[in-house]
Chain A
Amino acid sequence: MSITYLEAIRLAQKRALAEDPRVFIYGQDVGAFGGAFKATKNLAQEFPGRVIDAPISEDAMVGAAIGAAIEGMRPIIEMQFADFSTVGFNQIINQAAALHWRTQVPCPITIRLPSGGTSGGGPFHSQSMEAIYAHYPGLIVMTPATVEDAYSMLLEAVAIDDPVIFCEHKYLYYHLKADQLPTEAMPTGKARIARSGRDLTIVAYSAMVHEALAVAEELATEGTEVEVVDLRSIKPLDTDTVMASVARTGRLLCVGEAFPWGGVTAEVIARVASEGFGLLDAPPQRLNAKDTPVPYHPNLWAVHRPTARSIVVAARKLLRQ
């Protein structure tokens, strides 16, 4: 049996629906059609009345999920693309994120964002929005990079008493496969050493983990050992694991697919620089997408975001320092 990242997401939702009567799924075309990416395929048939087509009303979709959560439900909202979550932004950051802090009433909603770039996606179907949501107090932001994490973290997202922004990478949907679903999982908030090494730490998350692993593979043939840290969730961000890795390697490169101003890579470097300055043998580096909207044409897109090709250049430069 081989399970894709996308199928893992579907199976996690199926299990959540089966095990917890409080769970329902709400989103555009998620019902009989099974969703734009088929992440809810057959779920409406298997769980009648609990997988509901929404009008094209992201603001009201999130607002309604919050209301249902106050009544004790555990809604899962599917955005058709992460990019459209901006239309529900107000409810996410002002209502969901602030509710518990204001009232002590938790807001256990999960918002699934099909994220990141794919070839030909263009500026409005390619965005990586994790950093924007992570900026707001009161939200958890998950960025799974493996089939196993896609499954176990989504189940955990539904169980957590806070609003969770679940960034699932569209490029990984079909490209990643695993033999079986995990039976145990690392807790949210713990980063994973995806590959160990002693010369350089590359911190990445979501699809960039795989680009970083390709770089580690390439540099290994030259005798350089790269350690790859997969953050898994960017909020909470596991500074300890990053710091321990940097203590081993002395060199840090952070890679993210989002825009370069601020964001996850800047946060990681800020933490390491302020708490672990003495561990560094060279200035920490970051690599992000370019500071323009995500381009449509594959020629431009291939250069806009970091890839193994550009990461290896940055890694070599850092290793020489």
Chain B
Amino acid sequence: MIQMVASRPATGEVSSCRDAYLSAYRWMLLGRILDEKFASLYRAGKIHGGVFIGRGQEALSVAIGQSLRKGDIFAPLIRDQAGRLAFGESVLEAARTYLGSVLGPMRGRDGNVHRGRPKEGYLPMISHLGAMIPVVNGMLLARRFKGIAGTVGATCLGEGGTSTGAFHEALNQAAVEKLPLVLIIANNQFAYSTPSSRQFACRSLVDRAAGYGVEGHSLDGTDLTACLKVVGEAVANARDGRGPQLVVARLLRLCGHGEHDDAGYVDTKLKQSPVGRDCLKVAGEYLVRQNWAERETLVAWRNEATQKVEEAIAKAQREPAPDPYTENWCALASKHLSEVYE
């Protein structure tokens, strides 16, 4: 059922496929375990605000994180823990943001999934869906101005987010400018409680690619092989100057919208259908079947990842929270222009 490559590949290709798969699997596993830890901390009342995890979307997310290179731009969304790790975010950075450590990149000013390092090409999402796409476009435009070639910008969105004006404006903008944008849509069947059928009426969102004049790709988001292949190709196409790439993956959100939500509205039949497969399980089984890893190795990796997560969480929990009395209450970069309100 899962096909690595269609034709008989050369030995070198196989080993690079295998290496990519193995590394992707381990990022997925780490992302899953980190997400599960955040969820359990949430249930224990140890997280301020909500927790949003990417259970079931790790294969797609890791494919984008892993297909990007240093110097590329990545604007992940709420279900991209695996992709963030593969792109270079540390477990500690995620832990610090969720736990409100003042040493985290957002210093307690923003939290949970709203984190990033813009100077490193890693954008901190705002909540407003679709809003990150034109910002990636702008960074790509700037690179064109500056004569920097060969980098791409990737960003992720749910199918619900495609109903925004921002999505339309930005994809059209990228197409007109022929920017190296890779726009990854995770059609996980639900936007909070709203099924895809209330979100769009076309057969598949990938059909929209033609309307925008961009290349479109669709894939099974539960299959890591397909994710690495298709997302990898889309990134390569963008890098080659073929303009924006729209990638649409079919999968299922295997969790609530946030950890406050029991997702009771998701039909059991859907969960049992192919779209409801757990990509991490599927990938693990594939590894074993291919003789790329033993079952015991998978267990060892899991333990290793768990330990890494526990250490980072413990560290972040010991770190200081922001202090409102030493906090610099100024939103401006031009400090001399800031006003004092007393």
Q: Chain A: residues with CB nearer than 8 A to chain B?
A: 28-29, 31-33, 36, 53, 55-60, 81, 83-84, 86-87, 119-125, 260-261, 288, 290-293, 295-300, 302-304
Contact = CB atoms under 8 A, between A and B. Distances in A.
A13 to B, nearest CB: 18
Nearest to B197: A53
A86 B166 CA distance: 12
B322 A122 contact: no
Nearest to A59: B165
Pick the most buried of B111, B191, B194: most chain A CB atoms within 10 A of its CB: B194
Given A55-B198, A296-B48, A299-B322, 8 more contacts: A56-B163, A83-B128, A84-B127, A86-B128, A120-B47, A124-B114, A288-B341, A300-B109
B324 A56 contact: no
A55 B163 contact: yes
B253 to A, nearest CB: 14
Contacts of A302: 324
A67 B332 CA distance: 40
Interface string B108-135: 1111101000000000001111000000
B338 interface: yes
Contacts, number: 128
A299 B321 contact: yes
A122 B111 contact: yes
B302 to A, nearest CB: 30
Determine chain A's interface SS by DSSP, over half rule: loop
Contacts of B47: 120
B127 A124 contact: yes
Contact of B338 (A28, A288, A291): A291
A28 B257 CA distance: 13
Interface residues of B, number: 42
Nearest to B125: A124
Contacts of A31: 194
B237 interface: no
Contacts of B321: 297, 299
Interface in B242-294: 265
A291 B329 contact: yes
Given A33-B192, A296-B108, A297-B322, A121 B49 contact: yes
A295 B109 contact: yes
A139 B165 CA distance: 24
B193 A55 contact: no
B200 A55 contact: yes
Contacts of A83: 127-128
A288 B112 CA distance: 26
Pick the most buried of B50, B193, B198, B323: most chain A CB atoms within 10 A of its CB: B193
A60 B108 CA distance: 34
B199 interface: yes
A291 B331 CA distance: 7
Contacts of B163: 55-57
B322 A300 contact: yes
A125 B128 CA distance: 10
A55 B205 CA distance: 14
Given A87-B128, A299-B108, A293 B331 contact: yes
Given A84-B128, A298-B48, A29 B329 contact: no
A48 to B, nearest CB: 15
Nearest to A121: B49
Contacts of B106: 296
Nearest to B325: A303
Pick the most buried of A56, A59, A121, A303: most chain B CB atoms within 10 A of its CB: A56
B300 to A, nearest CB: 36
